[in-house]
Amino acid sequence: MDTRVVRRQSRLGSPRQRGLGVLVGLVGLAVAAGCGHPKDQGAGSSAGSGTASSAGPASRVAEATGPVTINIVDAAGTLQLVQDALELYRTKHPDKVDKFNTTKAPAPELPNKIKAMQGAGRMDIDLVFGGTDILAAGLEQGLWTRILPDHADAFPHVLDSYTDQAREMQKLAQDQALAVVFMPAGPLLEYNPDAVKSPPTTPAELLAWCKDHKDRFLYARPSNSGPGRTFLMGLPYLLGDKDPRDPINGWDKTWAFLKELDTCIEYYPGGTTATMKEFGEGSRDMTMTVTGWDINPRALGIVPEQYKVAAFKEMTWINDTQYMIVPRGLSPARLAVVLDVMAFLLEPAQQALTYDKGYFYPGPAVKGVTLAMAPQASQDVIKQFGRPEYDDWLAKFPHQRPLDAKAMVAAFRRWDDEVGARKTRK
């Protein structure tokens, strides 16, 4: 997905650091992994097979003989929501984990790196946090371990524990990942009320505004941006396209609209962080957003608190989820620890931490986790920066899952080729 706004700069690095190539981060993981775990390919290593496999049934997953270092790559900004829970796990289970090595990587670049590791017979990444973008890319290439039903005993009743909408999103995983957080995303328009007196309420009005205010609207590359891809997938519903779930044969109106909109957009940032930075500094007057990207940057002071959001008339919510994904190639012993970490993150106490500072609002993917269970700091942020209109919009407008894996990858490729090819910046 995209490299998100950070909660603590020291935790996730500066925007410049986050923009470095993924290769540096993965090389660092490999070095750390040389100390943390040997070349342990064990059962279930099927690098290069092109089909999803697991490390064997859960009943055969061996327990690790001592604490291990777990290497995590975050391709969605999920660490902001689960970092504290990971540290809590390490504190509670020093016999299982001595350290979590974490790094960030752009979603479009990570699958090829994982595939190369699997082809070389060495997997130095134990767990990936990612959105529907990297999930889809990995499903297409056969990169992920099958979690269910192979390891169902590590996650008793997990499907029943999800909220109804999170369970719908879980279907996209094709049993090869588990949803860890949920957000009814958008698409929403965010704007500077001093510059935009009457925000657009339809795509046609947005296009007219953009042409009248050239270079004052922008959105990020969809394959690496939650708001960008939510806008992309929400347009077919807004425009009345023939088949909103078929980006190749059913989106004639959407592709025509995006090409026309392109005429008044200066460029497409490579991720949402850069988009919000320009927006907050006043370089742009309007952008696409989602609930979390509206609340969190204002809470952090990156976007002015007084900026507003608007919903399109007759919009359809495109829901969003971030997943826990295990690459193929882990040994049974390492996999056992990773599965235990994943189960821990789905417990209600840890789910309550995902309210965070509104970053993936609301956050929890499991039932019964209320804002009252969240830390007081989270409650205060939502009270100050949340939007009263969200409850009305969430109830008023219908909800849809994102595109399935193959369709999403196809939509990203077509956008890259036909819309963003000449204007996208990394």
Averaged pLDDT of the chain: 87
The per-residue pLDDT for range 13-25, each reduced to its tens digit, is: 333 333 334 333 4
- Which residues lie closer than 8 Å to 225 by C-beta, 6 or more apart? 1, 2, 219, 269, 271, 272, 275
Q: How many CB atoms lie within 10 A of CB 376?
A: 7
Handedness of CA 169, 204, 302, 228 (dihedral sign): positive
Within the chain, which residue ranges are assigned CATH 3.40.190.10?
Answer: 9-183+321-377, 185-319+389-418
Between 3.40.190.10, 1.10.3720.10, 3.30.200.20, 3.40.720.10, what CATH number should domain 185-319+389-418 receive?
3.40.190.10
pLDDT at 184: 92
- 133 band by pLDDT with thresholds 50, 70 and 90: confident
Q: Which of 244, 290, 238, 245 is nearest to 261 (CA)?
A: 238
Residues of the chain above pLDDT 90, percent: 79
Amino acid at site 391: D
The per-residue pLDDT for range 136-186, each reduced to its tens digit, is: 999 999 999 999 999 999 999 999 999 999 999 999 999 999 999 999 999
| CATH fold for the domain made of 9-183+321-377 | D-Maltodextrin-Binding Protein; domain 2 (3.40.190)
3-state SS track over the chain:
CCCCCCCCHHHHCCHHHHCCCHHHHHHHHHHHHHHHCCCCCCCCCCCCCCCCECCCCHHHCCCCCCCEEEEEEECCCCHHHHHHHHHHHHHHCCCCEEEEEEEECCCCCHHHHHHHHHHHCCCCCCEEEECHHHHHHHHHHCCEECCCCCCHHHCCCHHHHECHHHHHHHHHHCCCCEEEEEEEEECEEEECCCCCCCCCCCHHHHHHHHHHCCCCEECCCHHHCHHHHHHHHHHHHHHCCCCCCCCCCCCHHHHHHHHHHHHHCCCECCCHHHHHHHHHHCCCCEEEECHHHHHHHHHCCCCCCCCEEEECCCCCEEEEEEEEECECCCCHHHHHHHHHHHHHHCCHHHHHHHHCCCCCCCEECECCCCHHHCCHHHHHHHHHHCCHHHHHHHHHCCEECCCCHHHHHHHHHHHHHHCCCCCECC
Kindly state the tokens that stand for 241. Answer: 């396209």
pLDDT at 305: 97
Whether residue 128 has pLDDT greater than 60: yes
pLDDT at 424: 75
- What's the rounded mean pLDDT across residues 331-356? 97
pLDDT at 3: 40
Q: At what angle do helices 79-92 and 332-345 cross, to 10 degrees?
A: 110
pLDDT at 63: 57
Alpha carbon dihedral 71, 76, 77, 79, in 10-degree steps, equals: -30
Whether residue 393 has pLDDT greater than 90: yes
Residue 310 pairs with which residues in a beta bridge?
189
- 48 band by pLDDT with thresholds 50, 70 and 90: very low
- 54 band by pLDDT with thresholds 50, 70 and 90: very low
Count Cβ atoms within 10 A of the Cβ of residue 68 and give its class: 0-12 exposed, 13-18 middle, 19 or more buried. Answer: buried
* Residue reference for tokens 């829901």: 319
Cis ω for the linkage preceding 187 (within 30 of 0): yes
The per-residue pLDDT for range 73-127, each reduced to its tens digit, is: 999 999 999 999 999 999 999 999 999 999 999 888 899 999 999 999 999 999 9
pLDDT at 107: 84
Residues of the chain above pLDDT 70, percent: 84
Q: At what angle do helices 132-141 and 110-120 cross, to 10 degrees?
A: 40
pLDDT at 337: 97
Do 405 and 136 form a contact (C-beta atoms < 8 A)? yes
- Rounded to whole angstroms, the Cα distance separating 214 from 231 reads 19
Whether residue 50 has pLDDT greater than 50: no
Kindly state the tokens that stand for 376. Answer: 């007081």
Q: How many CB atoms lie within 10 A of CB 225?
A: 31
Residue 85: what are its φ and ψ, rounded to 5°?
Answer: -65, -35
The per-residue pLDDT for range 221-242, each reduced to its tens digit, is: 999 899 999 999 999 999 999 9
Do 141 and 405 form a contact (C-beta atoms < 8 A)? no
Kindly state the tokens that stand for 75. Answer: 């391709």
pLDDT at 383: 96
Do 368 and 160 form a contact (C-beta atoms < 8 A)? no
Strands 308-311 and 286-289: unpaired
pLDDT at 106: 86
Whether residue 280 has pLDDT greater than 80: yes
- 423 band by pLDDT with thresholds 50, 70 and 90: confident
Alpha carbon dihedral 307, 311, 317, 321, in 10-degree steps, equals: 0
- Rounded to whole angstroms, the Cα distance separating 302 from 298 reads 6
- Rounded to whole angstroms, the Cα distance separating 265 from 425 reads 13
Q: Which of 316, 293, 311 is nearest to 235 (CA)?
A: 316
Strands 127-130 and 317-325: antiparallel
Higher pLDDT, 35 or 405: 405
Q: Which of 4, 16, 1, 424 is nearest to 221 (CA)?
A: 424
